[in-house]
Amino acid sequence: MTDYEKRIADLELQLAGTVNNLGITIARLEDLYRIVERIANHLEWAGVVSRGQTIDREDE
């Protein structure tokens, strides 16, 4: 195997690792989105906020 072929193989492994990490990150973001959605639903149900309302943080 030439140096060029070794470098290509290394880059393929790095790319596979990056794609795997990206998949894990996307799954975590989806989980986080579901958690935030559940919190929003509870706040709406409790009458604290209404759907689509934004909450501005006051400057400290």
How confident is the model over 2-34, as pLDDT tens digits? 999 999 999 999 999 999 999 999 999 999 999
Per-residue pLDDT for 60 more than 60?
no
DSSP E strand boundaries for the chain = none
| Contact present, 43 and 49 (Cβ < 8 Å) | yes
| Contact present, 46 and 39 (Cβ < 8 Å) | no
| Contact present, 44 and 53 (Cβ < 8 Å) | no
**Which pTM was predicted?**
0.63
pLDDT band at 59 (very low <50, low <70, confident <90, very high): low
Stronger pLDDT, 52 or 11, i.e. the higher one: 11
Token reading at 44: 């709406």
The predicted structure's pLDDT at residue 38: 94
Query: Average pLDDT for residues 35-53, to the nearest whole number?
Result: 85
